[in-house]
Amino acid sequence: MTGVEIWGFEARRCGVAGLALPWLAAGGIIAVSIAAAAAKAGTADAVGLGMVRLVAMAFPITAGIAAVAAVGRERMPELQSTMPTPYPRTVLRRLVVVTAVTLLAAAALIVVLVARGQWNHPAHGVAAILVPLGPALLFIGAGAWATARLRSVGGASVVVIGFWFLQIFYLDRFIGVWQVNRALLSVAGVALAVLALRRLSVSERLINGSRE
């Protein structure tokens, strides 16, 4: 298989949820922005601030659920240890696909909000993508780690929601400088993804699952 064929295959293996959730979230937020403008709900600054909050808080969690769906699709993951391609590499490709889809959806969402004059945040241009991308990376990493650890899509989804509460009620409140906040969230997400891949790289853990 060529490189394009491999990535196309892994994208399909991510499933509908893995590919569609970030776009559905982006579409939902755009719909809310249109409705808010039509209803003249508050000043332009207030509406813009509300849209930023949705982008920063509601959009990213869909990336984590998408990662859980993409990683947790294997019915018999123990068979992956017999495949020529290491299972962690397969999972990494799927996480890259989910991250790329999330990045594209976030960029499209922000472009639309900026064009509509509904983006009330100090970050502009390329830097604006960090507003949703930082927590999205955290949730993608948390979703991958929880799926590798628990071997349960439902359980991993609960863990992602737990990280979402952690971000909203603790991290965002006590790390007020948004650049530092997003950098730390991104690093934490990458670290969790690395832990997930390391766990999956050990065939005994892959076979035994959460019974260790």
Q: Is 126 exposed, middle or buried (0-12, 13-18, 19+ CB in 10 A)?
A: exposed
Q: How far apart are CA 109 and CA 129, in angstroms?
A: 10
At 49, give phi and psi (nearest 5°): -65, -40
Mean pLDDT confidence for 85-96: 87
In the prediction, which pLDDT does 60 show?
A: 96
How open is the CA angle 195-189-170, to the nearest 5 degrees? 120
Per-domain residue ranges of the chain: 3-206
- Whether the pLDDT of residue 151 is over 90: the answer is no
Contact 128, 45 (CB under 8 A): no
Q: What is the pLDDT of residue 6?
A: 80
Nearest C-alpha neighbor of 119 from the set 33, 22, 60: 33
**pLDDT band at residue 161 under the 50/70/90 scheme:** very high
User: What's the whole-number mean pLDDT along residues 169-175?
Assistant: 89
Dihedral angle computed from the Cα positions of residues 172, 26, 189 and 194, in that order, rounded to the nearest 10 degrees: 170
CB-based contacts of 141, cutoff 8 Å, min separation 6: 67, 188, 189, 190, 191, 192, 193, 196
Q: Which is more confident, 142 or 80?
A: 142
Classify each residue of 33-44 as buried b or exposed e, where b means 16 or more C-beta atoms within 10 Å of its C-beta: beebeeeeeeee
pLDDT at 167 over 90: yes
Mean pLDDT of 9-22: 87
Question: Tokens representing 118?
Answer: 């509904």
pLDDT of 212 > 60? The answer is no
The pLDDT mean for the chain works out to 87
pLDDT band at 45 (very low <50, low <70, confident <90, very high): confident
Contact in structure between 149 and 197 (CB atoms under 8 Å): no
Q: What is the pLDDT of residue 77?
A: 58
* Confidence category of residue 40, pLDDT binned at 50, 70, 90: confident
Q: What's the pTM?
A: 0.89
Q: Are 127 and 178 in contact (CB under 8 A)?
A: no
